[in-house]
Amino acid sequence: MMLLETKLLTKIYGGLTAVEAVDFSLRQGLVHALIGPNGAGKSTFVGMVSGRTPATSGEVWFDGQNISAWPAHKRMRLGMAYTFQITAIYARLSLFENIALAQGMRDQDAALDALGRVGLDERLDQLAGDLSYGHQRLLEFAMGVAQSPRLLILDEPTQGLSESEIAGFNTLIRSLAGETTILLIEHNMDVVMSLADEVTVLQQGRVLSSGTPETVSADPLVQDAYLGRETC
Amino acid sequence: MSPSARSFLLHLGVIAGLFVLCFTLSDYHQGNLARIMVLATYAIGYNVLFGYTGLLSLGHAMFFAAGMYGLGLAMQYGGMSPVPAFAVGILTAAVLSVVVGVLALRTIGVAFMIVTLMFAQSVFLIILYFGTWTRGDEGFVIPQAARQVLGMDLTDPLIRYLAALLLFSSALLITARMMQVRFGRVLIAVRENEERTQMLGYDVFRHKFLAVLISGSISGAAGAAYGLLFGYVGATFASVQYSIFPLLWVLLGGAGTTIGPLVGAVFMFYLIDYSSGFTNAYMLIAGLALVLLVLFARAGIMGEVRRRWAPWLP
Amino acid sequence: MEFGPHLLLATLEGAVGAAVLALTALGLSLVFGVMRVVNVAHGEFYMLGAVVAWFVASAMSAHPAFGFMAAVLIAPAMAGLVAILADRLVLKRLHYDPEATIVATIGILYIMQQTALMTFGPEARPVAPPFNTRIPLPWLEYGENGFNLFYPWGLSTTSYKLFVIAAAAVILVSFALFLSRSRFGLIMRATQLDRETALTFGIPVERVYSLVFGLGAALAAFAAVLIVPIQQAHYLMGADPLLLSFIVVIIGGLGSLRGTVVAALLIGMSDGIISVFFSPTLAKILATLLVALVLVFRPQGLYGKKRA
Ligand SMILES: Nc1ncnc2c1ncn2[C@@H]1O[C@H](COP(=O)(O)OP(=O)(O)O)[C@@H](O)[C@H]1O
Ligand SMILES: [Mg+2]
């Protein structure tokens, strides 16, 4: 079953078409990686999926419903979670409050479980703003998990992290695979190759190629445009 | 002791302290404190919006005045007794909050401040415009004979004090409780990071709207009580100055703390009371306090206490 | 008086108000445009101008024209200096944070107003105009012998009022030239467009801010010096020009100077005209509500361009 579908989804900023007529579908339970050079429109695309960015035209379907006109918070309640590319936690609130807000403040154990998953459950009273950058990214990830979403959208979760931290993240994401459908924006090709069931390559707002990691990386268009140059 | 038990004890202690003070204070200070408790209730209402939700209104006098005139006009021209008139006062403020909330919440930041300022200015001018009924700047007196509730004379200093205490304690306990439950914690989340809160699935507009409604209604209750307990209704209470006061009290006492509004109102009231002994330019103190607070002490008194000694402080 | 002459009179009174309002609002708009600071104390700089004008004029015993001339020079300079001081001591330390600066300027408002109360006192005091000839105005009427020119009773203005209109017009035009032609005008516009880029180009942004804040205050003070021979100085006189300037700046488009001047003429004229025929309170109610609704539904103002 398709959990998420977009039809001709388009975003125009002034004169710039950031995302152009993207048809996209994501089957329940899969990990789908969205890749492409900087400025390709990846963040804009997931922003329109989550409702954070209003679409110029096109449709978003989630779980068989047309949610194109829904505000972001209703989409989240329907079973999406979204982690920001630029860390967005409540810096002046405690870790516990951060995770409790994410969980919905109904089930404390579930909230603590999510923190435990990233190994931050020992620091409940610490202010989130006092955490190291790496730990903040982990908290942000835990907040997404705590929402127990059906679709978890991760916008470059490993950006700015060290090698070992990236490896840790991989394990975390893999531990979710199967139970949660994941839409992952990622620059790191190793991560993509090892985690993703499917890959979509965006370039200048358009889908360049889409399929399994193997087919996509074999696609000459992609090799020309992206994999050939991008090394990191 | 858990933080919520501690804060419960703190609030109970404050209320008990105010109760005991009523029997030990001189008549002069007793009268002052009754007034301060009503004004602190106004500040508590303001704090819901400014301290907890992070929305800085420059027009709360319109809610205070709506409550006051709602009650005053209902008593003066509707011949109502104090209790239903008090309800009319709160209702007037609540209706105004709904209108202002729907409109002003379309804006943020500086525009929100100016929109609330302008709405309050319109309310002030409307009161002046309908001077035939409102008596404009002069205002009108609610006669002593009308200020009786259940056989109790609200003009009696002791009864007045206890009535003010009842109002203040209700506002304190209600808001303190509110900030412990989900609704209040989401308000804080909105203050800290609005977009994040929306992306966690909370209806930000609904929370802000309810915050305006609650804040406006509590401010209106304070205005109605002020008219009832002190027997005077006048346009001054709708002026810009009365929109600035709650901001000042809350900033001084500590925005986003439960007892900050009381602390700020007590300090400012006595500072102004003291200085008006030797100058008529007492608002100079208010101006200086505002500048110094934004420059050097944004957290206010209780905010500083919380930071240094008592992180649990509600 | 009949309707026609009455309207002419109202228009003239409106033009005086509009001229002074345009200068005052220009100061507010300039500060907001360049610094993104909403200066709630703007009306107090106006008041300061009037009060200083009174002090200067009453210290001079010669012909009122000398007192007035001195006031024209001294009052705006004083207001500018006080503003620069306020900028250095307060606004700069707040890093021009929009919300904090509003709260701070409210504080500055009360500090200035109450200081005036303590030094200048609660009375309203007049300043003598430098010249004040009554000029009767003619009116055309169509009668039995065709058009006929006559001077209706009560239809007159003074040379001073005409001077106010002319002086304001001169300042507005020179200011527009100053903004578009002078080096400092260019620097100001660059800072307004993009603070960061201005910084990287080596523009001393903080000094520009101080000067702009001072200039804004000086404009308000100059407007007050012009009006004080007609209206008297009083420590509470800042409230109305503040409100009207707000209305003008918001209707004219936040930070748009041309829009501000157009709106000032519109509001000033209609305020003068409406106040003659209707209740001034009603006019103010409508104006404040209009401003609130403009901000709610068209945050960029009616005239200004939409900002990204
Ligand atoms: N708020 C915005 N206003 C105008 N242009 C924007 C905005 N957000 C993104 N863009 C532009 O849209 C394009 C896509 O950006 P983005 O989705 O962030 O790319 P990616 O996430 O793939 O790096 C870029 O050219 C970017 O400059
Ligand atoms: Mg991106």
At B168-186, the pLDDT tens digits run 999 999 999 999 999 999 9
pLDDT digits (tens, 9 = 90+) for B36-94: 999 999 999 999 999 999 999 999 999 999 999 999 999 999 999 999 999 999 999 99
Q: Compute, in angstroms, the gap from residue C308 CA to the centroid of ligand 1.
A: 14
Which DSSP category does A25 fall into? E
What confidence score (pLDDT) does residue C1 get? 56
Q: Do A90 and B198 touch (CB under 8 A)?
A: no
pLDDT digits (tens, 9 = 90+) for C36-80: 899 999 999 999 999 999 999 988 877 778 888 999 999 999 999
Pocket test for ligand 1, best of A10, A16, A185 (most atoms within 8 A of CB): A16
Give the percent of chain B with pLDDT over 70. 100
**Mean pLDDT over each residue of chain A, to the nearest integer:** 89
Full set of structural domains in chain A with CATH = 1-73+152-159+187-232 (3.40.50.300)
pLDDT digits (tens, 9 = 90+) for C24-39: 999 999 998 889 899 9
Burial class (CB in 10 A: 0-12, 13-18, 19+), C209: buried
Asked whether the predicted pLDDT for residue C304 surpasses 80, the reply is: no
Domain boundaries, chain B: 3-235
Residue ranges of the alpha helices (H) in A68-107?
A: 72-77, 95-103
φ and ψ at residue C306, rounded to 5 degrees: -70, 135
Of B242 and B150, the structure prediction assigns the larger pLDDT to B242
Specify the 3-state DSSP secondary structure of C147: strand
Query: Hey, whose CA ends up nearest to atom 26 of ligand 1?
Result: A39
Sheet with A65-66: strands ordered across: A16-27, A2-13, A57-62, A65-66
What confidence score (pLDDT) does residue B120 get? 97
Asked whether the predicted pLDDT for residue C303 surpasses 50, the reply is: no
Chains B–C, number of C-beta pairs less than 8 Å apart: 115
Of C211 and C286, the structure prediction assigns the larger pLDDT to C211
Asked whether the predicted pLDDT for residue A106 surpasses 80, the reply is: yes
Which architecture, in CATH terms, is C3-131+156-297? Orthogonal Bundle (1.10)
Specify the 3-state DSSP secondary structure of B141: strand
The two tokens of residue C207 are 């000094």
Q: Which residues contact C142 (CB under 8 A, 6 or more apart)?
A: C148
Asked whether the predicted pLDDT for residue B147 surpasses 50, the reply is: yes
**Mean pLDDT over each residue of chain C, to the nearest integer:** 86
Domain boundaries, chain C: 3-131+156-297
Q: Compute, in angstroms, the gap from residue C93 CA to the centroid of ligand 2.
A: 35
Q: Compute, in angstroms, the gap from residue B247 CA to the centroid of ligand 2.
A: 40
Q: Which chains touch C (3 or more CB pairs under 8 A)?
A: B
Asked whether the predicted pLDDT for residue C307 surpasses 70, the reply is: no
Q: Which of A82, A93, A100 sits opposite B199 (nearest CB)?
A: A82
Give the percent of chain B with pLDDT over 90. 81
**Mean pLDDT over each residue of chain B, to the nearest integer:** 94
Q: Do B287 and C282 touch (CB under 8 A)?
A: no
Measured on CA atoms in the order A86, A90, A92, A96, is the torsion positive or negative?
negative
Would you give the end-to-end CA distance of chain A in angstroms? Answer: 34
Give the percent of chain C with pLDDT over 90. 43
C208: Cα separation from own chain's centroid: 21
Asked whether the predicted pLDDT for residue A232 surpasses 70, the reply is: no
pLDDT digits (tens, 9 = 90+) for B113-133: 999 999 999 999 999 999 889
Tell me how crowded residue C65 is: count the other CB atoms within 10 A of its CB.
Answer: 13
Asked whether the predicted pLDDT for residue A231 surpasses 50, the reply is: no
To the nearest whole angstrom, how far is the Cα of B202 from the nearest Cα of chain A?
5
Ligand 1 atom with the shortest distance to the CA of A44:
17
Ligand index nearest the alpha carbon of residue A85 = 2
pLDDT digits (tens, 9 = 90+) for C230-240: 999 999 999 98
Q: Compute, in angstroms, the gap from residue C202 CA to the centroid of ligand 1.
A: 29
pLDDT digits (tens, 9 = 90+) for C263-288: 888 888 877 667 666 777 888 888 88
Q: Which chains touch A (3 or more CB pairs under 8 A)?
A: B
Q: Do B189 and A73 touch (CB under 8 A)?
A: no
Q: Do A90 and B196 touch (CB under 8 A)?
A: yes
The two tokens of residue C215 are 């200039």
Q: Spell out which chain C residues touch chain B, with contact meaning CB-CB distance below 8 angstroms.
A: 38, 90, 93-94, 98-100, 102-104, 106-115, 117-118, 122, 239, 243, 246, 250, 279, 281-282, 284-285, 288-289, 291-293, 295-297, 299
Chains A–B, number of C-beta pairs less than 8 Å apart: 54
Asked whether the predicted pLDDT for residue B200 surpasses 90, the reply is: yes
Q: Do B186 and A88 touch (CB under 8 A)?
A: no
Instruction: Tell me if chain B has a CB within 8 Å of the CB of A147.
Output: yes
pLDDT digits (tens, 9 = 90+) for A14-25: 889 999 999 999
The two tokens of residue C50 are 């009037």
Query: Hey, whose CA ends up nearest to atom 7 of ligand 1?
Result: A13
Which DSSP category does A129 fall into? G
Q: Which of B182, B189, B199 sits opposite A90 (nearest CB)?
A: B189
Q: Compute, in angstroms, the gap from residue B295 CA to the centroid of ligand 1.
A: 37
- For A88-92, A97-101, C290-294, which range has the lowest pLDDT when averaged over its residues? C290-294
Q: What own/partner pairs with CB < 8 Å and gap ≥ 24 does B268-276 have?
A: B269/B32, B269/B35, B269/B36, B269/B39, B270/B32, B273/B32
Asked whether the predicted pLDDT for residue C223 surpasses 90, the reply is: yes
Mean pLDDT across A134-146: 92
Tokens 């930070």 identify what position?
Answer: C255
What confidence score (pLDDT) does residue B248 get? 94
Ligand 1 atom with the shortest distance to the CA of A205:
14
**Which residue in chain A has the smallest CA separation from B190?**
A90
Query: Hey, whose CA ends up nearest to atom 4 of ligand 1?
Result: A13
B65: Cα separation from own chain's centroid: 11
The two tokens of residue C244 are 């009207």
- For B211-225, C86-100, C225-239, C289-303, which range has the lowest pLDDT when averaged over its residues? C289-303
Q: Are C248 and C263 in contact (CB under 8 A)?
A: yes
